[in-house]
A and B are shown apart, each in its own frame.
Chain A
Amino acid sequence: MTGSIASIGMGIAVIGAAMGIGNIGAKAMEAIARQPEAVGDIRANMILMAAFIEGAALIAIILSFLVAN
């Protein structure tokens, strides 16, 4: 039964990360629309920020994977 509870934890972690990355994407699109000439800088920073959020979510996912085992 621990497996199924761990997968719920995994899902909750992904919800948080999805909201965060979604926000970053939305704001980046807005920023690009306002200043199309800054697209390179905005894209690089967008990927960087998304990677930070991803890191937090991944730790949660790996932990739930370990619990599930």
Chain B
Amino acid sequence: MRRYLICLIYTLAFTFGAAAQDHSGHNHDHSGHDHSHHGHDHAGHNHGSHEGHNHSTGCGAHAHEFDPGALAIHHIGDANVYSIGPLNIPLPCILYNKDLGWKVFMSSKFGIGHHGDGHYAIDGYVLDGGSVKRVQDASFPMGKVEVNGFIHGKDESGKFMSSVCYNETLYSLDAKSTADGGIFGGGITSFYDLSITKNVTAMLIVCFLLGLAFFGAAKKYRNNAGKAPSGLQNLLEVFIVFIRDEVAKPFLGHHWAKFLPFLLAIFFFIVGLNLFGQIPFLGGANATGNLAVTMVLAIFAFIVTNINGNAHYWKHLLLAEGTPSFVKPILIPVEILGLFIKPLTLMLRLFANITAGHMVIIIFVSFIFIFGQSGANPVGGYGAAIGSTLLTMFMMAIELIVAFVQAFVFTILTASYLGAATEEAH
């Protein structure tokens, strides 16, 4: 009975938090980039602080329809600012352009305003919605100049475009620089953004925490040799023994000891980032839901697999031993394609699972604004807030499972590829 009561209280608290956001949101326009604090859960964020603020000065009002898709893509994306609620923590920007050379400065130089929009342009770079973009036009003044807000829309071909308003004129912006090939609006553009972004910060924090946990546990093993494990040591031992007995030993045979550190590193790095990205009200860095991050993890798996591949593996792959000769012309290209499809699916699986979970949560939260008609219909907003809070809590519980399952799947697949590469001839 008490348990149900506690659940009910939590639900109500969450609902009121979510509804408060709806209530305070009625004064500013809900273009996709508005109300953009970087958590995946908006429940409880209060936006009352920027009521009545809008950027439109001279370049026309930019009141758009509320667009949940754009909101979701903005929130799962990387940023050059770490926003925790109303707090904008500046991060170092390291930018390269072949005409301008290297530019290194803190993103606070942009004068971070609401929704991560910068008030200033630095040498043609601007901060739009938390990410650095570059003005395409060469006539844009260099140095530090004040800009008057950003306008987002679609160009004639239906491509998503952003422009910055400076001196009563609109200048169109290059998309942000990402290594994911532009699936989410970025891509390789006129500049390279090698900054310590939000995701990089999250990875550094997770590495630090993991280091702390593991060095602590290692010290305990050294000091309390032969005694029962205690504290964090217990938790880590459960996972390490699980990976050793369920993943490394069955797939790798007698090679297991050689590859166990690699598998453990992958597992704990992924699980750490998955869980770190899910902590509410902590900025929600979506690092494992970023194609560049998962790509690097998959490339590591690819390199380790192929470096350790034995002669049997390469013969099987390149000569398709033991198959009739008329099948070989089909089988060999398929095997070679498979070599690259394996890391590709590793990359996509982790990315898509984490991203999809976060997107669903954002869409559930968006229901509040859709039903509340951006403040015009408070009753609908409050009604939807109850439903979407429950759905969001359910989804977060699912994501907690997914965080572990996807880390496990990545590890077990890496182990199975490694096992196939190191298997002796039979």
Contacts and interface: CB of A to CB of B under 8 A. Distances in A.
Interface of A: 40, 44, 47-48, 51-52, 54-56, 58-59, 61-62, 65-66, 69
A41 B286 CA distance: 32
Interface in B164-183: 182-183
B411 to A, nearest CB: 11
Contact of B408 (A47, A56, A62, A65): A47
Contacts, number: 41
Interface in B346-366: 346, 348-349, 352
Interface in B113-144: none
B345 A44 contact: no
Contact of B409 (A40, A51, A65, A66): A51
B50 to A, nearest CB: 30
A66 B348 contact: no
Contacts of B409: 47-48, 51
A69 B180 CA distance: 14
Contacts of B352: 58, 61-62
B420 to A, nearest CB: 13
Contact of A65 (B183, B246, B247, B345): B183
B306 interface: no
Contacts of A59: 344-345, 348
A47 B412 contact: yes
B349 A47 contact: no
Q: Looking at chain B, what size class is its interface with the partner chain?
A: 10 to 19
Main secondary structure of the interface of B (DSSP, over half): helix
Contacts of B348: 55, 58-59, 62
A54 to B, nearest CB: 6
A48 to B, nearest CB: 6
Given A61-B352, A65-B183, A69-B183, A47 B405 contact: yes
Given A40-B246, A56-B345, A62-B348, 20 more contacts: A44-B246, A47-B405, A47-B408, A47-B409, A47-B412, A48-B409, A48-B412, A48-B413, A48-B416, A51-B349, A51-B409, A51-B412, A58-B349, A58-B352, A59-B344, A59-B345, A62-B183, A62-B352, A65-B183, A69-B159
Main secondary structure of the interface of A (DSSP, over half): helix
Contact of A44 (B159, B182, B346, B412): B412
A19 to B, nearest CB: 19
B301 to A, nearest CB: 13
Contacts of A51: 349, 409, 412-413
A47 B410 CA distance: 11
Nearest to B342: A55
A51 B413 CA distance: 8
Most buried by B among A40, A48, A61, A66: A48
Sorted nearest first, the 7 A-B pairs with minimum C-beta distance are A55-B345, A58-B348, A51-B409, A58-B352, A55-B349, A44-B246, A58-B349
Interface string B227-250: 000000000000000000011001
Most buried by A among B182, B183, B348, B408: B348
Nearest to A65: B183
B303 to A, nearest CB: 19
A51 B353 CA distance: 11
